[in-house]
Chains A and B, each alone.
Chain A
Amino acid sequence: METLPPAESAAVRRIVADLKERPGPLLEVLHAIQAAVGYVPAAAVPVVAEGLNLSRAEVHGVVTFYHHFRRSRPGAHTVSLCQAEACQSMGATALAAHARRRLGIDFHQTSADGRFSLEPIYCLGNCACSPAVMIDGRLYGRVTPERFDELVADGASPP
């Protein structure tokens, strides 16, 4: 198993210490770790398990149950394409094919230069402005292939 850099290891321990007394804290802890580190490293699992008095299997089981939790370091920008019905009705499948070609990666992959991770997502709640895309937590609607190229060419820079 990889070992965590000291700063990340310290962050994980601090998060566990801060949140462990809250009712049903595991998801809160995992969210906080992902926010701090960018993903939930395998090396964090035993630390969380010990801190919350759970088995490693229980923690691993929760991390792997939820699509939102990542187990590897993501690219600099996470691009999520809605693939649910409303967006499909407005061309989301074709947009996904375009995005794969443009970024050179498939869903659940990160580009070799580490810039982009591509994920499917099942509904962003923007179904009257389909197709919808989320880049680094920012929502975009009525996204055409041309608009997609502009968004990723901007380096998906923060507003």
Chain B
Amino acid sequence: MTTLVYIPGDAGALSVGAGEVAHGIAAEAARRGAAVKVVRNGSRGAYWLEPLVEVATPRGRLAYGPVKPGDVAGLFDADFLNGGSHALSLGATEEIPWLKGQQRLTFERVGIIDPTSVADYVTHGGYQGLTRALSMEPAAIVQAITTSGLRGRGGAAFPTGIKWKTVLDQPAGQQKYITCNADEGDSGTFSDRMLMEGDPLSLIEGMTIAGIAVGATQGYIYLRAEYPHALRALRTAIAAAHQARYLGSDVAGSGKRFDLEVRLGAGAYICGEETSMLESLEGRRGEVRVRPPLPAVKGLFGQPTVVNNVVTLASVPWIMQHGAQAYANFGMGKSRGTLPIQLAGNIRRGGLVERAFGLTLRELLYEYGGGTASGRPIRAVQVGGPLGAYIPASQLDTAVDYEALAGIGAMLGHGGIVVFDDSVDMARMARYAMEFCAIESCGKCTPCRIGSTRGVEVIDRILEGVDGERNVRLLEELCETMVQGSLCGLGGMAPFPVQSALKYFREDFRGRVK
């Protein structure tokens, strides 16, 4: 009997040796005459256990990890193919506490299925959402998304249903587009990447449902160039969905058309801003557009366009399959459903935690994360990417909730949490925030283009001990100007980490002498 062995093909798992382990297990199985089929699944998201090897047994999937290539022979000696005990044994994968406590809706199949297989996807509930949507009126689909409370997971948290309704309400008979923003550029975030590599068909299904709902026949996924593994996964999955007639001129036998194409970005952070992304998709410099008109009215090539993030769109199939209310039953306040949170940076047990909104940063950082990787105390966390505020250790009881974080002057963004220990120099991090803005500014508006460069210079003078107090005041004024005067969120929010560093870690800006 052939034994199924799961070894992630996820880029993160590959980066720590999953490819070599897969190769080693296949070679060792051949040498020993063991009948093994290796499935390259996505990652379960427990990156500190990667490479995580799973074996399908009558007792369910059993996990071993982190496995190094040198461990392979020992695993065979321990009869791991039959669940034999080994120093790296983790027991049943589903029972690993870090995974067991999660509420995986959007990520329910990631790490479980073979991402290239439509059959595997369908066996695990895939395309039931689309089937349901095809039996409904477009307005009813849009209403379901509104009722679910789903908000944009890319960071802006705009209600998805309202966006879709605006596009639906544009006159029919014209070309409309569904665009997926897969330009996941925030440091500390990788949920889009994991999903595209581990369950790309859920994104494809979500975009197809969006197309059916608003009357769009063409979709584009705007993928960042830094994600070559995701590109391969998406192209493979799109071809498989076409082959199975879930894409193309007759989606699932409905007579409706939906086509999908991946377009590559080219290393510009600003293209995660939706109007800049549209410019880039049209083949131009990624300079932001002045709104209005909204993309929902006049978007890609001047046509009504839905712009949603990967996780937003990939949450749609679950909502359509299980019902809007089932999704809305998760979460707190105006933050409904679940969020795939990413624990990153200096953290002992980093990875992806999908939970309903409402748990606290402290629970995430200590119960899931286990504190810092370095073993030193946590001094600051940055939530929501390079434009998010630094949060001091004293505020870790804040809930993961859009409004709760906004209430302390921070933002949830795309759900990434980057952890720093007490060796961090917050004045240096403030300087980096301005430097990053200067590198990535599209140049269209002055506060961002010039302000960020001047910001670096002012912080440099503070660090050199030149006129400290005066330059700190100047920096505060500059931040205010950028926040008030910038055209989009890059210049408008890049000061947030700077302001928070000044507010909570002011001692790092003092005592610098020439």
Contacts and interface: CB of A to CB of B under 8 A. Distances in A.
A148 interface: no
Given A27-B283, A86-B187, A129-B50, A122 B344 contact: no
Contact of B16 (A84, A85, A142): A142
A30 to B, nearest CB: 7
Contacts of B226: 121, 123-125, 134
Contacts of A23: 282, 301
Contact of B48 (A30, A128, A159): A128
Given A65-B268, A66-B266, A127-B418, A24 B346 contact: no
Binding site of B, secondary structure by majority: helix, strand, loop or mixed? mixed
A31 interface: yes
Interface string B341-358: 011111100111000000
A6 interface: no
B193 interface: yes
Interface stretch (A7-15, A87-95, A97-105, A110-118): A87-95
Interface in B376-432: 382, 386, 416, 418-421, 424, 429, 432
Nearest to B419: A89
Interface in A1-59: 23-28, 30-31, 58
B263 to A, nearest CB: 7
A127 B11 CA distance: 11
B282 A24 contact: yes
Nearest to A23: B301
Contacts of B184: 123, 125
Contacts of A127: 187-190, 342, 344-345, 350, 416, 418
A89 B420 contact: yes
A67 B419 CA distance: 27
A141 B266 contact: no
A132 B15 contact: yes
Interface residues of A, number: 41
A67 B267 contact: yes
A126 interface: yes
Interface string B111-142: 00000000000000000000000000000000
A139 B15 contact: yes
Contacts of A24: 281-284, 301
A122 B385 CA distance: 11
A93 to B, nearest CB: 9
Contacts of A27: 263-266, 280, 283
Contact of A126 (B15, B263, B281): B15
A66 B268 contact: yes
A62 B283 contact: yes
A85 B350 contact: no
B478 interface: no
A68 B266 contact: yes
A86 B414 CA distance: 14
Nearest to B385: A85
A84 B267 CA distance: 13
A44 B19 CA distance: 38
Nearest to B218: A23
Contact of B346 (A58, A90, A125, A159): A90
A84 B188 CA distance: 9
Given A68-B225, A121-B226, A123-B226, A90 B190 contact: no
Given A66-B266, A128-B347, A129-B47, A26 B11 contact: no
B373 interface: yes
Nearest to B268: A66
B501 to A, nearest CB: 12
A155 interface: no
Interface in B192-249: 192-193, 225-229
B14 interface: yes
Given A89-B420, A123-B186, A139 B14 contact: yes
Given A89-B418, A125-B189, A128-B350, 11 more contacts: A26-B284, A61-B285, A65-B268, A66-B265, A68-B266, A85-B345, A86-B187, A87-B187, A126-B12, A129-B12, A130-B344
10 contacts: A31-B225, A58-B284, A68-B268, A86-B187, A89-B418, A125-B12, A125-B184, A125-B190, A128-B344, A139-B15
The 5 closest A-B CB pairs, nearest first, are: A128-B350, A26-B283, A84-B187, A68-B267, A127-B344
